[in-house]
């Protein structure tokens, strides 16, 4: 059943189609250059490693919008951080998320069920993100936990530290970097590498461009400087939103969404890039990892319908394997609804590794 589903999905996506949708519903021009270098032009091993979702791996809270999932394991407990705001604020202007706060939920199993524990960061108590705290991501730096996020109204990256995963959390008094959609990688020597979404002005095509910038710092708290001459780090001026990053196979691995569909010809699917030096990135496959509107297959054979699948985030286990792909799901076009933690069949990238056969 799994192989049939994956095979059917790849065929449909390779043709630029999403199950249940027509091409006219996605009037996006695929802008893949003929000379484009693609690691896997005829397949997508990461997509093929996606597994059906246990019912317990769907995290909802009645009356609330949930977005931006990120999870960390501490001892025998998984701690899920995400942004939250009242469902009543999720109106047609799509601005409720700008007043979000950060919560924590826990489970003894990566795939749930998760139980709400507490509000972690709230604008009313923050030194400068006084309107909204959005897109939180959790990591560990030395013996301390670091929760980094987008802070509104400064639209900058903020850091908060805690000695224990339960807090208390201490936000730094000022933003660390003027950047949106941050994705941070802390190196073994304590230095840091970060990618972010950047909107150049004026835009090249008259639309809102979303390029990827890279930043480096000798220590996690900065100061950060732009890496690679400040240009778009994605090849062929591809665009992105919502990057996440991890280190594996001696390379930087970035999963994000295909902002204008230039890679896939589909509205904002999840795509994957790799880089050996943090400057030159290569497209892993132009077959999406996951699309916005494809049904979410559950373990019992049923499926969840979605209009939006965004904010991809990875969970890397102790062996360095990608064990789960977390996403935020919107049932309707502009709604923000719940979190899904999708199992992945212990994926480790092997691009560039020579076979012994």
- 11: confidence class by pLDDT, cuts 50, 70, 90: very low
Q: What is the pLDDT of residues 267-288, one digit of tens each?
A: 899 999 999 999 999 999 999 9
DSSP per-residue string spanning 34-101? TT--BS-TT--HHHHTB-PBPGGGEE--TTEEEEEEEEEEETTEEEEEEEEEEGGG--TT--GGGG-E
H or E element that contains 258: strand 251-258
Q: What is the pLDDT of residues 199-247, one digit of tens each?
A: 876 666 666 788 999 999 999 999 999 988 888 999 999 999 999 999 9
Q: What is the pLDDT of residues 131-148, one digit of tens each?
A: 999 999 999 999 999 999
Q: What is the pLDDT of residues 150-181, one digit of tens each?
A: 999 999 999 999 999 999 999 999 999 998 89
Query: What is the chain's mean pLDDT, rounded?
Result: 89
Could you give the dihedral angle defined by the CA atoms of residues 238, 255, 186 and 342, in that order, rounded to the nearest 10 degrees?
170
Q: Judge contact between 26 and 267, C-beta under 8 A.
A: yes
Q: Is the pLDDT of residue 18 over 60?
A: no
Here the tokens at position 158 are 């903020």
Q: What is the pLDDT of residue 335?
A: 82
Reference 274, options 230, 243, 241, 311; nearest CA is 243
Here the tokens at position 211 are 């390029």
Q: Is the pLDDT of residue 14 over 60?
A: no
- Domain assignments of the chain as residue spans, ordered by start: 29-185+219-228+290-343
Q: If you average pLDDT over residues 19-35, what whole number do you get?
A: 58
DSSP per-residue string spanning 272-313? EEEESSSSS-EES-SS-SB-SSS-EEBTTS-EE--SEEEEEE
Q: If you average pLDDT over residues 29-43, what whole number do you get?
A: 90
Q: What is the pLDDT of residues 47-89, one digit of tens each?
A: 999 999 999 999 999 999 999 999 999 999 999 999 999 998 8
| CA angle at 299 for the pair 293 and 305, rounded to the nearest 5° | 20
Q: Judge contact between 292 and 307, C-beta under 8 A.
A: yes
């Amino acid at each position: 059943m799994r192989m049939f589903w994956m095979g059917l999905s790849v065929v449909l996506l390779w043709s630029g189609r999403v199950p249940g949708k027509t091409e006219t519903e996605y009037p996006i021009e695929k802008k893949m250059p003929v000379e484009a270098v693609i690691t896997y032009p005829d397949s997508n091993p990461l997509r093929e490693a996606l597994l059906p979702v246990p019912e317990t791996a769907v995290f909802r809270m009645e009356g609330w919008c949930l977005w931006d999932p990120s999870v960390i394991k501490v001892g025998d407990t998984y701690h899920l951080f995400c942004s939250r705001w009242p469902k009543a604020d999720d109106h047609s202007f799509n601005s409720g998320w700008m007043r979000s706060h950060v919560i924590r939920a826990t489970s003894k199993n990566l795939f749930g069920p998760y139980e709400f524990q507490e509000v972690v960061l709230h604008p009313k108590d923050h030194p400068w993100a006084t309107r909204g705290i959005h897109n939180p991501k959790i990591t560990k730096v030395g013996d301390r936990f670091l929760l980094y996020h987008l802070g509104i109204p400064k639209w900058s990256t903020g850091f908060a530290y805690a000695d224990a995963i339960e807090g208390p959390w201490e936000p730094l008094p000022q933003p660390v970097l003027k950047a949106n959609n941050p994705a941070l990688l802390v190196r073994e020597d304590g230095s840091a590498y970060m990618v972010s979404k950047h909107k150049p002005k004026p835009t090249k095509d008259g639309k809102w461009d979303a390029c990827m910038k890279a930043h480096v710092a000798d220590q996690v708290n900065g100061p950060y400087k732009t890496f690679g001459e400040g240009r778009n780090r994605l090849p062929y001026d591809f665009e992105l939103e919502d990057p996440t990053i991890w280190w594996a196979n001696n390379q930087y691995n970035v999963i994000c969404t295909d902002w204008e569909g230039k890679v896939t010809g589909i509205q904002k699917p999840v795509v994957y890039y790799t880089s050996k030096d943090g400057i030159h990135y290569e497209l892993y496959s132009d077959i999406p990892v996951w699309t916005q509107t494809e049904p979410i297959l559950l373990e019992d054979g049923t499926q969840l319908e979605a209009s939006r699948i965004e904010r991809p985030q990875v969970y890397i286990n102790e062996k360095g394997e990608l064990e789960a792909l977390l996403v935020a799901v919107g049932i309707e076009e502009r709604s923000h609804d719940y979190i899904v933690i999708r199992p992945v069949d212990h994926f480790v990238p092997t691009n560039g590794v020579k076979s012994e056969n």
